[in-house]
Every structure is written in C-alpha cells, then in structure tokens.
Amino acid sequence: MTGKEWPLYEVFIRSKSGLSHRHAGSIHAADDQMALDAARDTYTRRSEGVSIWVVRSSQIVASDPAESAAFFEPAEDKIYRHPTFYDMPDGVDNL
Amino acid sequence: MNKESALLAYVTRLGDNALVLGQRMVEQVAAYPELEEELANANFALDYIGQARMFYSYAGELEGQGRGEDDFAFLRDENEFGNLLLLEQPNGHFGDSITRLVLFELFYLAQLEALARCDDVRLAEIAARAEKEIRYHLRHNTQWLVRLGDGTEESHCRVQASVNNLWQYTGEMFGADNVDTIVEKAWSGPSLERLEERWRSDINAILINATLSKPENDGMVSGGKAGRHSEHLGYMIAEMQYLQRVHPGASW
C-alpha cells in the first residue's frame, strides 16, 4: 500500500457471558463499515463475541499520563471509600 | 439419469465450486494489500475449503464406493471437475478478486438459500450452514465493490474492467442442464430461472450503487459444469494435487 495509512480504530467486544464491551485491540480501516468488518475478521474468529463496537481512535478523549499524579494519586489514601473500611454490625450476615 | 445420481453429481459440483474458488483464494494468502483484508481473504478461503469438505464427504457417502473427501479433491482429473469457469480464472488484482466474489456469491447465496429448503435433509443442513458464511462474505465484498467503483478514477476504471472481463462467465451459472433440472424437480431444488431473475435485479442495484455500468456484451461462455474447462484449471489442479499424486495417501 502506497501513500497514507488508513485511520486507526479501537475495537470493543462484548463476549457471550460478559456484561460490558471490553477493549480488544485496534485495526486500520478506511471507513466505519470496513472497520466493523475488519474487527469481526480479526477479533471474533474464535467466537470471542456477540457484539462489536468500533470507534475512531482520534475520537477517544484520553487522560494525560503527565497529569496522572493529579488525576489518580488523591484516591490512594481515601480508604474510607472502600466498603471494607467499615465494620459490620454483629448479626448482619450479608450486605 | 435417476434422481440419486443427479443428486450425487449436484453435490459433487457444489464441492468443485467451493474447492476451486477456495484454492484460487488460498493462492493469494500473504499477498493482500492490507493486513485486515489479508485476514478476511484467508478466513473466506477457509470457509470455502470447509464447505468443499462437507460436500465431498457427503458425495462419497451418496456414491457408496468408499471414496472420501480427499479422493474427490486430489484424485480426479480436470474433466471430472464440474466447477463454473468463472471460479477457475486466474487471479488478477484486488478488484478482480472482489468482482469475481460478488458475481459468484450473489448467485451462490441464493442457491444455498433454496437448497436449505430442499427435500434432501443432509444437503439442506450443509446448505444452511454455508449460507451464513456466504451472507457475511457477500456483505463484505459488496461493500468493497461499491467502494472501488465509487472511489477514485483509477479504482473505478480498474474495477469496471474487472466487471467487463468476468461478465462473460456469469451466464453459465444459470444454464440448467439435466442435473439441475432433476434436482429441481425431484428434490425441490433451486429453480435456476428464478435465481437468475433475482441475480439480475441484485447485480443491477449493486452496479448502480458502485457507479459501474453493466457490460453491453451478453456473449457468454460455458462448459465448466460439463467438465470442459479453460486452460487454467489444469495448472491449478496440477499444483493442488501434486503431493497426493506423488505420495499417495500421504497425511500429516
């Protein structure tokens, strides 16, 4: 192939038992329909899925790794956000 | 010809179509222009080889002389193959491959749909399974034909030339012989007349969508179904059968 490469698409597959779509990988395609076909041929050959989403990689808004300290570190010392932080009252077996 | 031998000949031909087209596609493995299309071509080729195996195995059972799928594929001569001439034509560029597939699969899908409702249970089951594969192929390949036809000036010209070249082989799909007629009447098989009607309206719609014109020339060549092939099939078969001919019975 000479000239420009086709745009990159990210592929999300929902497996038979899975509840939500998960990122499977990426493919190159010239348009949306081609992306869907290529995703099917590349990522569901072994019955991995029952539903496919594709999205142009350029359409994904991603967090900046350089800002990861501000983004994610404040959550690290907030142990009260985890249910295990709280003592269970006696007599409550399931919550 | 009685209805049993017509069914045997019909199933063998289905196997021949699938094997010869599958082999042509296999020849292009590792030569496709994009990785994603490479995978699609290899998947599609294997679908065809898988269908050929099912048809040949069943043909062996119908024949009842102990021949298996490999005997049909590797130990018959060129004039015993009843595939369509369209499918044995040598590979050209990507547009040629796509055009051949659309022209054939538009017919083949309709044929399989009809066979899935025929009176022979095994054939109907095989057809129903193959139908799902071909429905996807056709979707994929039709999109490509439209993309190429309605694409750049170069892609348009090249794929129009593909359509013009291959058009002469499309008439053979609908020329009913004894075998077709008996399978239609005695097994509730497909009516080629009805398949042709549908094919013509479908291909017209696709060509219009792809901004391609239908070739004016309606001169058709045929003979493949009767075992009279173009010079290309012999070379293809020689390569495909080489191993089994030189080392009979060789296996993995």
CA–CA separation, B204 vs B212, rounded Å?
Answer: 9
- Judged by a CB distance cut-off of 8 A, whether residue A36 touches chain B is no
Q: For position A95, what pLDDT does the model report? A: 64
Closest to B43 (Cβ–Cβ): which among A30, A31, A45? A45
CA–CA separation, B105 vs B84, rounded Å? 12
Choose, out of B29, B35, B36, B209, the residue to mutate when testing the contact with A (most A CBs < 10 Å).
B36
Helix axes B153-166, B94-115, angle to 10 degrees: 50
Torsion of CA B222, B140, B96, B194, to 10 degrees: 20
Contact between residue B58 and residue B123 where contact means Cβ atoms under 8 Å apart: yes
Q: What's the average model confidence in pLDDT over A56-78?
A: 88
Give A17's pLDDT tier (boundaries 50, 70, 90): confident
C-beta separation of A54 from A39 below 8 A: yes
Contacts of B39 in chain A (CB under 8 A): 38, 41-42, 45
Q: Parallel, antiparallel, or unpaired for β A51-56 and A22-28?
A: unpaired
Cβ–Cβ of B143/A34 closer than 8 Å? yes
A41 vs B34: CB contact, 8 Å cut-off? no
Residue A25 near chain B (CB below 8 Å): no
Least Cα separation, residue A32 to chain B (angstroms): 11
Residue A2 has pLDDT above 70, yes or no: no
- What is d(CA B55, CA B39) in angstroms, rounded to the nearest whole number? 24
Measure the CA–CA gap between B191 and B188, rounded to whole angstroms: 9
DSSP category for residue A11: E
More confident residue, A3 or B13: B13
Q: What residues of chain A lie within 8 A of the CB of B140, using their CB? A: 37
Residue B162 has a pLDDT of: 98
Q: Which residues does B contribute to its contact with A (CB < 8 Å)? A: 33-37, 39-40, 43, 136, 139-140, 143, 147
ipTM field: 0.71
Q: Name the closest residue on chain A to residue B42, using Cα atoms.
A: A41
Q: Do A6 and B34 lie within an 8 Å CB cutoff?
A: yes
A61 to chain B nearest CA, in Å? 25
Share of chain A above pLDDT 70, in %: 96
Q: Give residue A1's pLDDT band: very low, low, confident or very high (50, 70, 90).
A: very low
| Below-70 pLDDT ranges, chain B | none
Q: Which band of pLDDT confidence, cut at 50, 70 and 90, is reported for residue A3? A: low
- Contact yes or no for B103/B166 (Cβ under 8 A): yes
| Residue B17 CB partners (closer than 8 Å, separation 6+) | B83, B84, B87, B104, B108
Distance of CA B198 to the CA centre of its chain: 17
| Cβ-defined contact of B143 to A37 (cutoff 8 Å) | yes
